[in-house]
Amino acid sequence: MTNNLSQNSLSFPHAQALAGENALLKSQILELIQLEDSGNFVDTDSIIKNFLKKARILSKAEAAFFALPASAPGKLEIKIAPPNLDDVVRNVCAEFENGYDKWIASENELLSIAGFIVLPLIRRHRLIGVMGLKLNPAAPENVCELLSSFAKQAATTLENTLFHEKSFRRLLTLSNVFTFQRELGGQIDLEIILDKVLSLIRDGTSSVGAALHLLGESGNDFFMRRLQTNQGIIEFSPNLKLFDETVKKTMEKGDPEVFEFSQIGELLRPTAFQGSSGFSENILCVPIFNRQKIVGIVQVFGKSEKQQYSPEDFELVKLLSGQIAFFIESTQQFQSLRELFFQTIDSLIWAFESRDSFFKGHSRRVAEFANELGLKFIDSKKELDDLKLAAIIHDLGKFQLPLEILYKPSLLTLEEFEIVKKHPQLGEHYFETIGYLEQIRRIVRYHHERIDGGGYPEGLKGEKIPLASRILAIVDAFEAMTSMRPYRPPYSEEKALKELIKMAGTQFDSRLVEEFVKMKMPALLVSEKSEK
């Protein structure tokens, strides 16, 4: 049976002799539950452990537990309890939950439940926590008055701690958002952007994972784009339609919504919680708007410690979803401009090269070879696009060379070759004022470096030469050897490939040469290896 125990019913008369002692003990209580001397707020778990320790000292209790309000109204989540009293504590909490409305209505009261004195910690008519103490005959005579005072002060301290902890987490998340925006100022790789946003969403909401659905080109269907969990990132094919109930209902309603995890798509269900435990099975879905039209859905799931998603989580995901919409639109606009830029540069180079038969089409063929070889070693679409553009413009600097050198029908002198060696730098200087072409300029600058360090302009060696420059060096040499030049007829493909093999490990990257030969003439590679 449960009884409602007020402070008066368990207190002895206030004898004059105890008055001074009570005042002293009350002041000691304030000191015992103060935060660290540094004035810094400690984490909630540390505060709770400190409360229990000090409460047991004050009351000489033989056991104690502490519970926090769960996300569901009137429910408790046990944070600390003696292992040998798990069932007892659960029963105490269950009985408290059954009389929740009554306990909350009678603030500042101590409760007696199943042999425990229960202290509801209440602030501003709101339950902050619940502490339970199993007393014994050694308890002080004025234990109820002490514990009542303790509960009031503990409630204030815990409320402040929770508030500061929550505010700190919020501030940290927003700080990460602002840092993220600054870091991505020049970022145009949408996949990197999406991964960073999903990571911020997961961290900010303390969730196992986040998934992103984007509207397809038809404008009617949503397609899974990315799934990020504590096991890593899964990138889905743009054509993979995973239109589950949560996405459908969120799209129809147009507002953030929380669903049971069982409603998530079948493909994600076994993947989402792999290697995870102790998380809620709710899923928060937030629509992504761009110009008042839904262009995507963010799904967040696996809130830590089985908590429910809060209004603050809703707002944070909405904020970051807005960033996704902004970056998608910006990236699409940027890609359109980039394609136009590529086409314009390609046309200009074609016009330059078309002035004579020796160089006509050289850059386009080099770009084709570079893309073909680059696909074997480069995963990023942006890096592959950078390689292709670098291949198109790699010889632009040659158009500043004297014509008598450029079309000389015999070998160059040392002085003339020194002039030719300037063309990579001359080419990169055309684009030095365009910030986002920095990587492309580096590829062009170093495409005549050698693996053994004997190249130009800086004599870089081995892997200090950018991968894209090493690729460009091979395909540029191959295309040049197989084309007519003023000083010699074209090589056959076989002869050109043999030259590449011969220079592998000195002028060219051996691994890249082997792959290129394998692409062009695999039988030759087998033949060369057998001869060795």
Query: Within 10 Å of residue 502's Cβ, how many Cβ atoms?
Result: 13
* CA dihedral of residues 35, 38, 43, 44 (deg, nearest 10): 10
Structure confidence at residue 509 (pLDDT) = 96
Q: Residue 254 — pLDDT band, cuts 50, 70, 90?
A: confident
Structure confidence at residue 429 (pLDDT) = 76
Query: Within 10 Å of residue 208's Cβ, how many Cβ atoms?
Result: 24
| Overall average pLDDT of the 408-416 stretch | 84
Tell me: pLDDT of 266 over 70.
no
What does the block give as tokens for 527? 């033949």
According to the per-residue pLDDT averaged within each range, which of 14-23, 245-254, 463-472 is highest? 463-472
Structure confidence at residue 90 (pLDDT) = 87
Structure confidence at residue 68 (pLDDT) = 87
Give the whole-angstrom CA distance, residue 247 versus residue 235.
Answer: 18
Tens digit of pLDDT for each residue in 30-41?
444 443 333 444
Give the whole-angstrom CA distance, residue 311 versus residue 462.
Answer: 54
What residues form DSSP beta bridges with 299? 211, 285
Angle of helix 143-183 relative to helix 16-32, nearest 10 degrees?
Answer: 20
Q: Which residue is associated with the tokens 């902890």? A: 165
Print the SS3 string covering 469-532.
HHHHHHHHHHHHHCCCECCECCCCHHHHHHHHHHHECCCECHHHHHHHHHHHCHHHHHHHHHHC
**CA-wise closest residue to 471 among 351, 363, 374:** 374
Tell me: pLDDT of 172 over 50.
yes
Main-chain dihedrals φ then ψ at residue 245, nearest 5 degrees: -65, -35
What does the block give as tokens for 127? 């339950």
The DSSP secondary structure of 11-54, one letter per residue, reads PPP--HHHHHHHHHHHHHHHHHTS--TT-PPPPHHHHHHHHHHH
The percent of residues above 90 in pLDDT, for the chain, comes to: 16
Q: Residue 526 — pLDDT band, cuts 50, 70, 90?
A: low
Give the whole-angstrom CA distance, residue 215 versus residue 1.
Answer: 59
| Overall average pLDDT of the 103-127 stretch | 78
| Overall average pLDDT of the 217-230 stretch | 72
- What's the chain's length in residues? 532
Structure confidence at residue 28 (pLDDT) = 45
Least confident of 61-70, 282-291, 422-431, 515-524: 422-431
Least confident of 76-90, 144-158, 237-251, 395-409: 237-251
Least confident of 64-68, 204-208, 280-284, 463-467: 280-284
What does the block give as tokens for 186? 């020049």
278 φψ region: left (φ > 0), alpha (ψ -120 to 50), beta (else): left
Q: Which CATH superfamily is domain 3-167 in?
A: GAF domain (3.30.450.40)
What does the block give as tokens for 310? 């809060």
Q: Residue 476 — pLDDT band, cuts 50, 70, 90?
A: very high
Structure confidence at residue 167 (pLDDT) = 59
| Residue type for position 266 | E
187-331 shares the fold of 3-167: yes
Tell me: pLDDT of 87 over 70.
yes
For the chain, the structural domain boundaries read: 3-167, 187-331, 354-531
Structure confidence at residue 45 (pLDDT) = 81
User: CATH class for domain 187-331?
Assistant: alpha beta
Question: Considering the entire predicted model, what is its pTM?
Answer: 0.48
Least confident of 13-17, 118-122, 430-434: 13-17
C-beta separation of 389 from 366 below 8 A:
no
According to the per-residue pLDDT averaged within each range, which of 2-6, 253-257, 262-266, 457-461 is highest? 457-461
Tell me: pLDDT of 25 over 50.
no
Structure confidence at residue 8 (pLDDT) = 34
The DSSP secondary structure of 284-337, one letter per residue, reads EEEEEEETTEEEEEEEEEEEBTTPPPPHHHHHHHHHHHHHHHHHHHHHHHHHHH
**DSSP assignment letter at 279:** B
Q: Which CATH superfamily is domain 354-531 in?
A: Hypothetical protein af1432 (1.10.3210.10)
Structure confidence at residue 501 (pLDDT) = 94
What does the block give as tokens for 466? 């950018």
Tell me: pLDDT of 491 over 70.
yes
| Residue type for position 428 | E
Tell me: pLDDT of 364 over 80.
yes
Tell me: pLDDT of 487 over 60.
yes
Q: Which residue has the higher pLDDT, 6 or 28?
A: 28
Least confident of 145-154, 365-374, 424-433: 424-433
Give the whole-angstrom CA distance, residue 42 versus residue 161.
Answer: 7
Tens digit of pLDDT for each residue in 380-391?
888 898 899 899
The percent of residues above 70 in pLDDT, for the chain, comes to: 72
Question: What average pLDDT is seen over the chain?
Answer: 77
Structure confidence at residue 411 (pLDDT) = 82
What residues form DSSP beta bridges with 508? 504
